[in-house]
């Protein structure tokens, strides 16, 4: 566990608890599962406040600076910020009023504090959209069409757009079916990002993944590697395969 981050959370919790308008501080991510909190972690949390006070907390970050001076702040969503204190600790947070929480999708959290008299749960009521794909055929055809369109853009000279379709979007689709192709370990899944900890869940696939994710100048190599992999997994429509190989 990262004691530095935990201490910052505790200090923040103590100060926020003293404010009349605050209701709860909910730690998320590795801050909720402290066994994962290492030297590369940052702070993720929700601040729950009383009805009608959210705007005050968003406009004025004095509550955030009460424990340590801020060096950087960026309001990245309507509900929250990304900040860094002067001592280098980084955090991402959102602020909600009680009635908003049931409509928010998040992973299970850990309360740093929760005031009495409020019915709050550290478990989300809204289901996180499933990123993993159980339909192998659907995912494979999405990958193939990503490759075809991307290769056409590559030949047109739109290399960056091609790179994103082939080395990002097609790879994301591949990650969605990876548990169907390779027995995963029990490493934690991030429901919001399948690329998180993929090297731990599928250690035998690291070398293969490196052939799909190439730099700007090697898009064709990445496309060819993905096509070769798809042919091992399933039969491919002959016409589509022919056209893709022409473009490669």
| Geometric angle at alpha carbon 40, from 210 and 122, rounded to 5° | 105
Q: What is the pLDDT of residue 124?
A: 58
Structure tokens at 102: 């049931």
Q: Which CATH superfamily is domain 3-114 in?
A: Beta Polymerase, domain 2 (3.30.460.10)
Which pLDDT score, from 0 to 100, does residue 190 have?
A: 67
**Nearest-angstrom CA–CA distance, 150 and 212:** 14
b/e map of 180-212 (b: 16 or more CB within 10 Å)? Answer: eeeebeeeebebeebeeebeebbeebeebbeeb
Name the pairing type of β-strands 90-97 and 43-49: parallel
Q: How many other CB atoms are found less than 10 A from the CB of residue 149? A: 17
Domain spans of the chain? 3-114, 136-247
Residue with tokens 């599962």: 33
| pTM reported for the whole predicted model | 0.67
Specify the pLDDT at position 171. 93
10-residue averages of pLDDT along the chain (248 residues): 86 95 91 79 91 95 95 92 92 91 81 87 58 75 90 93 94 88 74 76 84 93 95 88 91
DSSP structural state of residue 248? -
Helix (H, G, I), strand (E, B) or coil at 80: strand
Q: Which pLDDT score, from 0 to 100, does residue 134 have?
A: 65
The pLDDT of residue 122 is 64
How confident is the model at residue 132, as a pLDDT? 57
pLDDT for the residue numbered 185:
77
């Amino acid at each position: 566990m990262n004691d530095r981050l935990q201490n910052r959370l505790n200090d923040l919790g103590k100060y926020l608890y003293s404010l009349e308008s605050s209701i709860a501080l909910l730690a998320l991510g590795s801050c909720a599962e402290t066994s994962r909190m290492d030297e590369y972690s940052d702070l993720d949390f929700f601040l729950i406040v009383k009805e009608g006070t959210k705007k005050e907390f968003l406009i004025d970050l004095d509550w955030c600076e009460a424990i340590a001076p801020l060096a950087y702040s960026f309001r990245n969503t309507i509900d929250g910020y990304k900040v860094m204190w002067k001592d280098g600790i980084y955090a991402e947070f959102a602020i909600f009023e009680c009635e908003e929480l049931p409509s928010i999708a998040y992973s299970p959290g850990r309360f740093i504090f929760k005031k009495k008299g409020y019915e709050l749960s550290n478990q989300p009521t809204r289901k996180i959209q499933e990123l993993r794909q159980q339909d192998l055929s659907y995912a494979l055809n999405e990958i193939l069409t990503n490759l075809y369109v991307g290769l056409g853009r590559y030949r047109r000279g739109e290399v960056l757009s091609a790179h994103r379709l082939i080395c990002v979007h097609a790879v994301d689709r591949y990650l969605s079916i990876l548990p169907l192709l390779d027995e995963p370990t029990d490493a934690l899944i991030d429901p919001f990002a399948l690329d998180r900890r993929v090297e731990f869940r599928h250690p035998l696939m690291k070398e293969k993944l490196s052939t799909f994710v190439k730099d700007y100048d090697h898009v064709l190599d990445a496309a060819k590697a993905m096509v070769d992999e798809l042919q091992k997994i399933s039969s491919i429509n002959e016409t589509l395969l022919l056209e893709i190989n022409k473009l490669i």
